[in-house]
Amino acid sequence: MDASETKPLALRLGHVSKVFGGVRALDDVSLDVREGEVHCLAGENGCGKSTIIKIVTGVYQPEPGAEIEIFGERREGISPVQSRARGIAVIWQDLALFPHMSVAENIAFDGLVGARPRLVRTARLRPAVEAVLTRLGVSLDLDAALNTLPIAQRQIVAIARALMGRARLVFMDEPTASLTQSETDRLLEIVRTLSAQGVAVVFVSHRLAEVLEISERVTVMRDGRIVGVFPTKGMTQARLGELMTGATLEHAVSARDRSGAPPVLDVSGLSRAGDFADIDLTVRAGEVVGLTGLIGAGRTELAHALIGMTQPDRGTIRLNGKPFRPASIRAAIRAGIAYVSEDRLSLGLIQPQSIADNTVISVLDRIRTPLGLLSERRKARIVDDWIAELAVKIGHREDAVSTLSGGNQQRVVLAKWLATEPTLLILDSPTVGVDVGARAGIFQIVRRLADQGLAILLISDEVSEVLFNADRVLHMAGGRIIESFDPHATSIAQAEARIYA
Ligand SMILES: Nc1ncnc2c1ncn2[C@@H]1O[C@H](COP(=O)(O)OP(=O)(O)O)[C@@H](O)[C@H]1O
Ligand SMILES: [Mg+2]
């Protein structure tokens, strides 16, 4: 028996149902969460995950007959005030914070309600606010207005606020949906910290890789029902995907043999101390090479060296047959490399600027008139061409890019890079922050670009993503490429067994 099984229950649900109109959103659901456990609640959009949270926090009342047990106390229903008083908190997707208040005021908010002037109370609560942030291992500017912070930091504010209210069971509803990979890593670190301090976390997500990385157990839902509760150890992305969808994943491999095409990128013995070593890698025209492995395997570091962000210590790179050692990103772009970074949301796009401005930002010299002014006509043509080519769903090209969904923002990032007319495209975690439904569309574009002759290096930790969409898959671990998988000859389970070994 696992030691954690002896921990007392923070939450137990039994026979919880919820009907909206004629729709049975939850059907006889049970769930148990132990104190200090990280428990994932996984399932496709619309399966009822948020509804469970809303019942536990008193936003909705369940149908009669439900059993709810919170820290050993049995109830049939619960109000929001009772839920909070018993140590339950939710980090909602929209975070429910106050954009114009300071970080300190947001964290201390629940203690600020009362007669005294707000400023006086905030000052008095400051040491407690600082203590909570220390406990989370983060530092934030307490006086900054919340709306000046990136989403990832606002999320930390929401978590800190929950801890100020002495939360012992925290629900996080799709917390990584709009985070970049590095922001996600930081959030997972905070979740581990909370768990180590005895706070139970119910982590709601449909991202398979992070479910497996963060949780001890995962409860899988489908269509309002519980499919089962599984220990994460021994679980694979493939199995989890099957449980969530109810379908056996078609091994829809699209790999083709491109070994006869000329190499676009040819890397030999490339090393950079502490990052990666002895990398041999060839990507041919029209070929999609997948690069997978655990987080921290050195994949992004390798990409950074290829685009001139860092300098390797040893080895050679040839691009289109010629020796290539980019001194800067600008030099790499000029030579024909495009890089869609995993940090799309913070680095790839300038959120408040228009779709059009974001698209042409890397080709401004091409749309200048002889007098050096920007040609609005040329700009509109480039933008409209790429928006049509990539089927980006937009209102108007002058709308702010922040108004688009994750999937459409990702297409704008692609448009921006494709406008540079690259010969090698490096895609680093291209579906992070992109809805499940929109992912297939991104990969159709990737395949079409390859068919047009572009060489593509596809970096992803979702094993199915590389096996289904690449022609060859390389496995990187500890900074080295240790083996290669043929997508036609390797199942997801086999590849995962090697990666998570
Ligand atoms: N307030 C509501 N009124 C009507 N239907 C709702 C309401 N809230 C959720 N639903 C429905 O219940 C189902 C489960 O929704 P939800 O819990 O939000 O799913 P998830 O969080 O897993 O994506 C969906 O079919 C959704 O349309
Ligand atoms: Mg939801």
The pLDDT tens digits for 169-222 are 999 998 888 787 778 888 999 999 999 999 999 999 878 888 988 999 999 999
User: Distance, CA 94 to ligand 2 centroid (Å)?
Assistant: 11
21 CA: nearest ligand 1 atom = 4
Looking at all shown ligands, the one closest to residue 19's CA atom is 1
Residue 116 scores a pLDDT above 70: no
Indicate the helix (H) or strand (E) that contains 219.
strand 217-222
> If you take atom 26 of ligand 1, which residue's CA is the nearest one?
46
Indicate the helix (H) or strand (E) that contains 238.
helix 237-245
- 329: burial class by Cβ within 10 Å (0-12, 13-18, 19+)? middle
User: Distance, CA 22 to ligand 1 centroid (Å)?
Assistant: 12
Bridge partners of 316, per DSSP, are 268
Looking at all shown ligands, the one closest to residue 47's CA atom is 1
Coil vs helix vs strand at 370: coil
DSSP 362: G
Angle between helical axes of 151-164 and 181-196 (0-180°, round to 10): 10
Q: Taking phi first (over 0 means left), then psi (-120 to 50 degrees means alpha), and beta for anything else, what does residue 421 get? A: left
Residue 346 scores a pLDDT above 60: no
Q: Rounded to 5 degrees, what are φ and ψ at 213?
A: -75, -40
User: Distance, CA 50 to ligand 2 centroid (Å)?
Assistant: 4
User: Distance, CA 50 to ligand 1 centroid (Å)?
Assistant: 7
User: Distance, CA 51 to ligand 1 centroid (Å)?
Assistant: 6
d(CA 426, CA 317): 15
Q: Which amino acid is at 12?
A: R
pLDDT digits (tens, 9 = 90+) for 141-156: 999 999 888 888 899 9
pLDDT digits (tens, 9 = 90+) for 158-171: 999 988 888 999 99
Nearest in space to 37 (alpha carbons), one of 210, 200, 211: 200
| Assessment of whether the complete model's pTM goes beyond 0.95 | no
Place of tokens 């685009």: 307
User: Distance, CA 358 to ligand 2 centroid (Å)?
Assistant: 30
Q: Which pLDDT score is estimated for 374?
A: 78
Residue 364 scores a pLDDT above 80: no
Question: Which range, of 116-125, 291-300, 316-325, averages the lowest pLDDT?
Answer: 116-125
Q: How confident is the model at residue 247 (pLDDT cuts 50, 70, 90)?
A: low
Residues 6+ apart with CB under 8 A from 275: 298, 301, 302, 305, 310, 479
For a ligand 1 pocket test, name from 13, 16, 23 the mutation site with the most ligand atoms within 8 angstroms of its C-beta: 23
User: Distance, CA 479 to ligand 1 centroid (Å)?
Assistant: 43
> If you take atom 10 of ligand 1, which residue's CA is the nearest one?
25
pLDDT digits (tens, 9 = 90+) for 32-60: 999 999 999 999 888 999 999 999 999 99
Question: Cα–Cα distances in Å, from 402 out to 127, 348, 349?
Answer: 36, 12, 9
Looking at domain 3-245, its CATH class is alpha beta
Maximum distance among all Cα pairs of the chain, rounded to whole angstroms: 77
Question: Which range, of 58-62, 156-160, 351-355, 449-453, averages the lowest pLDDT?
Answer: 351-355
53 CA: nearest ligand 1 atom = 17
> If you take atom 20 of ligand 1, which residue's CA is the nearest one?
46
Percent of the chain at pLDDT above 90? 47
Inter-residue contact 309 to 397 (CB < 8 Å): no
Question: Cα–Cα distances in Å, from 116 out to 123, 127, 161?
Answer: 12, 18, 20
User: Distance, CA 429 to ligand 2 centroid (Å)?
Assistant: 23
Residue 30 scores a pLDDT above 90: yes
| 243-257, 361-375, 450-464: which is most confident | 450-464
Question: Which string of b and e fits 206-238 if b means at least 16 CB within 10 Å?
Answer: bbbbbbbbbbbbbbbbbebebbeebebeebbbb
User: Distance, CA 60 to ligand 1 centroid (Å)?
Assistant: 11
For a ligand 1 pocket test, name from 40, 45, 47 the mutation site with the most ligand atoms within 8 angstroms of its C-beta: 47
> If you take atom 24 of ligand 1, which residue's CA is the nearest one?
46
- Domain boundaries 250-336+424-501, corresponding CATH code: 3.40.50.300
Q: Which pLDDT score is estimated for 308?
A: 93
Q: Which residue has the higher pLDDT, 344 or 122?
A: 122
For a ligand 1 pocket test, name from 51, 63, 211 the mutation site with the most ligand atoms within 8 angstroms of its C-beta: 51
Q: Which pLDDT score is estimated for 347?
A: 53
Residues with a CB atom less than 6 Å from ligand 1: 20, 23, 25, 43, 45-51
d(CA 45, CA 51): 12
224 CA: nearest ligand 1 atom = 14
47 CA: nearest ligand 1 atom = 22
> If you take atom 25 of ligand 1, which residue's CA is the nearest one?
46
DSSP 260: T
d(CA 248, CA 234): 18
> If you take atom 17 of ligand 1, which residue's CA is the nearest one?
48
From-to residues of CATH 3.40.50.300 in the chain: 3-245, 250-336+424-501
Residue 435 scores a pLDDT above 70: no
Coil vs helix vs strand at 67: strand
For a ligand 1 pocket test, name from 13, 19, 20 the mutation site with the most ligand atoms within 8 angstroms of its C-beta: 20
Inter-residue contact 151 to 174 (CB < 8 Å): no
Indicate the helix (H) or strand (E) that contains 106.
helix 103-107
Mean per-residue pLDDT, 458-467: 91
pLDDT digits (tens, 9 = 90+) for 476-499: 999 999 999 999 889 888 898 898
For a ligand 1 pocket test, name from 50, 55, 207, 435 the mutation site with the most ligand atoms within 8 angstroms of its C-beta: 50
Q: Which amino acid is at 493?
A: A
Place of tokens 């008139």: 369
Q: What is the mean pLDDT of the chain?
A: 87
Q: Which pLDDT score is estimated for 1?
A: 42
User: Distance, CA 43 to ligand 1 centroid (Å)?
Assistant: 13
Q: Which residue has the higher pLDDT, 31 or 431?
A: 31
48 CA: nearest ligand 1 atom = 17
d(CA 154, CA 146): 7
Q: Which residue has the higher pLDDT, 27 or 362?
A: 27
> If you take atom 6 of ligand 1, which residue's CA is the nearest one?
20
Residue 250 scores a pLDDT above 60: no
> If you take atom 27 of ligand 1, which residue's CA is the nearest one?
46
> If you take atom 8 of ligand 1, which residue's CA is the nearest one?
51
Q: Rounded to 5 degrees, what are φ and ψ at 108?
A: -90, 5
Inter-residue contact 480 to 279 (CB < 8 Å): yes
The pair of structure tokens assigned to 253 is 């491999």
Q: Which pLDDT score is estimated for 430?
A: 85
Q: How confident is the model at residue 388 (pLDDT cuts 50, 70, 90)?
A: confident
